[in-house]
């Protein structure tokens, strides 16, 4: 199976990106286009998934964009890699749990390249670093499935401003911190897009 790979150099407007994803889903369903992997960065934006709760929005002045992905509140901004995909589970086996496992594996492998040990958590979706009783979130996952086309994706904190998360309870998890590659002492991440593509295609091709 062929997966189209796109890297956007300039920040992409969040709403525009969602429209592009929605169109790709429909194009795949109509047989017009194939699967997609798209790495972007967004300008500062807060988004709410389908299970977001009002009490998790700590700063009520924040402008929030509601989205149809799974999950709760999260933040996107400069220095964070947002990895969108559109994958046809009709051809890959209709197993959403397996898809999430594969996405987790991809992120863990990317972090391993930087010698960062990380793990998934069955209770709290996403990828975490540090000991399990004192872990910090470094990547968030949010997926939507329409007629067995899986889309949206994951975000990986590279060098983004972590103070922005103080305005929300990220992903509804109160007692865990957020971290980034930069906070963990990794400053040379110029090749991270290539690593993400390599690991993603290594799993899904």
Helix (H, G, I), strand (E, B) or coil at 44: coil
| pLDDT tens digits along 81-94 | 999 999 999 999 99
Distance CA 93, CA 106 (A): 18
Lookup result for tokens 């002045």: 61
171 is catalytic: yes
| pLDDT tens digits along 52-88 | 999 999 999 999 999 988 888 999 999 999 999 999 9
**Could you tell me the CATH number of the domain that includes residue 23?**
3.30.930.10
**Span 23-34, average pLDDT:** 97
Provide the residue range defining the domain that includes 45: 3-204
What's the predicted TM-score (pTM) here?
0.94
Angle, vertex CA 22, rays to CA 20 and CA 23, nearest 5: 65
Q: At residue 97, does pLDDT exceed 80?
A: yes
Angle, vertex CA 105, rays to CA 130 and CA 195, nearest 5: 95
Q: At residue 132, does pLDDT exceed 90?
A: no
As for how many domains the chain has, the answer is 1
Q: From the candidates 140, 156, 171, 181, give the one annotated as an active-site residue.
A: 171
Q: At residue 24, does pLDDT exceed 80?
A: yes
């Amino acid at each position: 199976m062929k997966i189209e790979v796109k890297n956007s150099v300039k920040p992409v407007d969040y709403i525009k990106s969602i429209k592009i994803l929605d169109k790709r889903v429909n194009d795949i369903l109509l047989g017009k286009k194939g699967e997609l992997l798209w790495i972007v960065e967004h300008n500062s934006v807060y988004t709410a998934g389908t299970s977001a709760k009002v009490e998790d929005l700590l700063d009520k002045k924040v402008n929030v964009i509601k989205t149809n992905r799974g999950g709760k509140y999260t933040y996107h901004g400069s220095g964070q890699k947002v990895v969108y995909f559109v994958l046809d589970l009709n051809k890959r086996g209709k197993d959403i749990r397996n898809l999430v496992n594969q996405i987790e594996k991809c992120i863990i492998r990317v972090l391993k390249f930087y010698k960062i040990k990380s793990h998934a958590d069955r209770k709290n979706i996403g990828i975490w670093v540090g000991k399990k009783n004192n872990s910090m979130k470094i990547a968030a996952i949010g997926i939507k499935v329409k007629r067995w086309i899986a889309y949206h994706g994951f975000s990986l904190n590279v060098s983004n401003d972590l103070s922005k998360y103080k305005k929300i309870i990220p992903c509804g998890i109160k007692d865990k911190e957020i971290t980034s590659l930069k906070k963990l002492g990794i400053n040379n991440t110029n090749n991270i897009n290539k690593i993400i593509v390599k690991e993603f295609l290594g799993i899904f091709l």
